[in-house]
Amino acid sequence: MTYKPADSQLMLNRELGLLEFNRRVLAQAEDSRNPLLERLKFLCIVSSNLDEFFEVRVAVLKESIQHNPKALLPEGLTVQATMELIAREAHELVERQYRVLGDAMFPALAAEGIHFFRRSLWTEPQREWVRDYFFRELMPLLTPIGLDPSHPFPRVLNKSLNFIVELEGCDAFGRNSGIAIVQAPRVLPRFLKMPKEVTGVEHGFVFLSSILHAHVEELFSGMKSRGCFQFRVTRDSDVSVDDEEVKDLRAALEGELSQRPFGAAVRLEIAENCPQHLQSFLLKQFALTEADLYRVNGPVNLVRLMQAPDQIDRPDLKFQPFPPGIPGELRKYPDPFAAIRHSDVLLHHPYQSFTPVVDLLKQAARDPQVVAIKMTVYRTGTESVLMEALLEAARHGKEVTVVVELLARFDEEVNINWAAKLEHAGAHVVYGVYGFKTHAKMLLIVRREENGLRRYAHVGTGNYHPRTARLYTDFGLMTVDDDITDDVNDVFMQLTGLGQAGNHKALLQSPFTMLSSLLACLDREIAHARAGRKAVVIAKMNALLEETVIEKLYEASQAGVTIHLIVRGVCALRPGLAGISDNIRVRSIIGRFLEHHRVFYFYNDGEEDVYLSSADWMERNLHRRIEIAFPVKNHKLKRRVLREGLRSYLVDNVQAWEMLSDGRYRRKTSRGGKERCAQAMLLAELTGKGRKEG
């Protein structure tokens, strides 16, 4: 019997899967095995993830409801029903998050001498310090808005900190609207460290909201505050340009970005003690419903607490730092070009350093034998040594071509700025293919050598971003393999020029060949299983949502193929269903590092094909993005990828979560046996403190 993903029982909801992922992240904040300040970071990461969830996913669903609330999603739910489930699950998650903060996190921090002082418990010296700060630093920046016919409700920026103040009495003009809005200055931190002589502890903090609460009446001379309550609104942050009208993507995007902070409201967070009539007033102002309201017992902007660990010098409460390792090939050949000519080089970040990639580009910029450099840029950061190296290369007269993805969500402005600098330096800057985001990670260097021009390539699973390379797990491959370098050059030709897609020798490419090739690999495993031969698929990715792939995985399971899926985030496939997905196991790894590499393994009757990729198995990656998957040909490196990128995760019983057929997850345990943590094992094996790979 053939099962289709359209069968509602066989597909899980994407949005509910994202919330389930954040439950697993929150569990890291609850896990006492993690250092305390790292637990605080995990708590803040949940808030950051939820911000994007509402800004993007919920915003899309809200817009869909306006057009057709009864429209069916792939798993059989209507859009309206999905929104109701999201509201229920998200409220439960947020309530649990603030319970962890108030009942566990703050007391544990206080026990370590790290205090966030509540206003009701301030000592007299603390009150004096707060008063001085208010009049010296805060009050001069505040512009309270008293609401009346000539002072309408102000435009509230996305995710900004605001206060609604209820007043009694009349002002100098006899006005008595009763309500005012105060917007916290964006230039000020959301919490401040107080001097030790004031707090009596090494690390004592006070929230900016507490300072304003204590002195809000100073903003309204002669009037009395009946209550001051913090609130925060989240808005639709998707940026779109008119397909028919756009002539210059960069110019059109620059115009749209200025309006992003004022998109349609999708969520309102407010202090839980805010009276009902003020909550209703705010909901009306933002055209939101009760389901969109989140009452919180604590700061409404928890993301800002992410900065606290950086201000607290307590190494014992943080993950132990480590020196990233350097592969043996690069230690043996200090010249990166010589090392790559000798053998392909595999880098496994963050366990191994990203510096070789930086050094390769820096040397290319200075090397007189290098005549051309081509590179894709998706996310790279406001400060980037890689971009500086490209600028240097362009100034030295090399042919520098940079494909900048302007529609990388939340990095649009940064990428626009880099594009302008690169153009000014003389580089060729293009924005890929309109309608298809360029997500492939590719660097191509053309060097003049004794036998003519030789191409060097770096291809990877992660962004060219040195900071995230210390936080995300990714693979990068440096190679002079003719098949790979020729294919990479062909992809660049597609991105910068015009022409038909050619037949690649090594790369799989979206939106042309990747999906069909993956399905063909699965069909081959199915054929092997039906012939009684061993058939195995192991795949690691961030998300699994593409319906055609899910259908084929179900078919493979029914044919007897053993399938292990390591999916960090959302997975729409249901594992372990009798007669459908008995042979499929799904697990998620949540730990110190963000699992980010995509690895695809097919047993192929012993040939063992291994691909590394920038693409998840999602509709957008396989149909609407320019992505690549590249083979690992070198036998030694293939063994490394299998061991480090797949098998170590399949034996993890510390940070692994096993997915159940209903979409929930159960944490794996050692059950009294030996604990195996993939990230800890790789830290021990690959970093500068452990054994260096030769």
Query: Which residues belong to the active site?
Result: 439
Q: Round to whole Å and give the CA distance between 563 and 538.
A: 6
Decide the pairing of beta strands 584-589 and 562-567: parallel
Task: Calculate the CA dihedral of residues 126, 128, 133, 136 and round it to 10 degrees.
Answer: -170
For residue 531, count CB atoms less than 10 angstroms from its CB and return exposed for 0-12, middle for 13-18, buried for 19 or more: exposed
Q: Round to whole Å and give the CA distance between 298 and 118.
A: 10
Q: Round to whole Å and give the CA distance between 599 and 567.
A: 11
For 336-349, b where at least 16 C-beta lie within 10 A, e where not — what string? Answer: bbebbeebbbbbbb
Region for 379 from its dihedrals, namely left if φ exceeds 0, alpha if ψ lies in -120 to 50, beta otherwise: beta
Assess contact for 203 and 110: CB atoms under 8 A.
Answer: no
Q: What is the DSSP letter of 325?
A: B
Q: Round to whole Å and give the CA distance between 231 and 229.
A: 7
Single-letter code of the amino acid located at 438: T
Region for 654 from its dihedrals, namely left if φ exceeds 0, alpha if ψ lies in -120 to 50, beta otherwise: alpha
Assess contact for 631 and 478: CB atoms under 8 A.
Answer: no
Residue with tokens 């195995």: 536
Assess contact for 563 and 574: CB atoms under 8 A.
Answer: no
Alpha helices in 266-354 (DSSP H): 276-285, 328-332, 336-342
Q: Please give the backbone phi and psi of residue 295, each rounded to the nearest 5 degrees, phi first.
A: -85, 125
Tokens linked to 684 = 């021990």
| 311: enclosing H helix or E strand | none
Q: What is the DSSP letter of 222?
A: T
Q: Round to whole Å and give the CA distance between 297 and 114.
A: 20
> SS3 for 571-617, per residue?
ECECCCCCCCCCCEEEEEECCCCEECCEEEEECHHHCCEEEEECCCE
For residue 583, count CB atoms less than 10 angstroms from its CB and return exposed for 0-12, middle for 13-18, buried for 19 or more: buried
Residue with tokens 């090594």: 506
Q: Round to whole Å and give the CA distance between 176 and 170.
A: 5
Tokens linked to 650 = 């399949």
For residue 95, count CB atoms less than 10 angstroms from its CB and return exposed for 0-12, middle for 13-18, buried for 19 or more: middle
Assess contact for 151 and 168: CB atoms under 8 A.
Answer: no
Whole-angstrom CA distances from 361 to 256, 364, 416, 457, 597 are 33, 5, 21, 11, 22
Q: What is the DSSP letter of 562?
A: E
Q: Round to whole Å and give the CA distance between 240 and 219.
A: 40
Q: What is the DSSP letter of 352?
A: B
- Computed over its alpha carbons, how large is the radius of gyration of the chain? 27
Tokens linked to 460 = 């990877």
Q: Round to whole Å and give the CA distance between 187 and 209.
A: 14
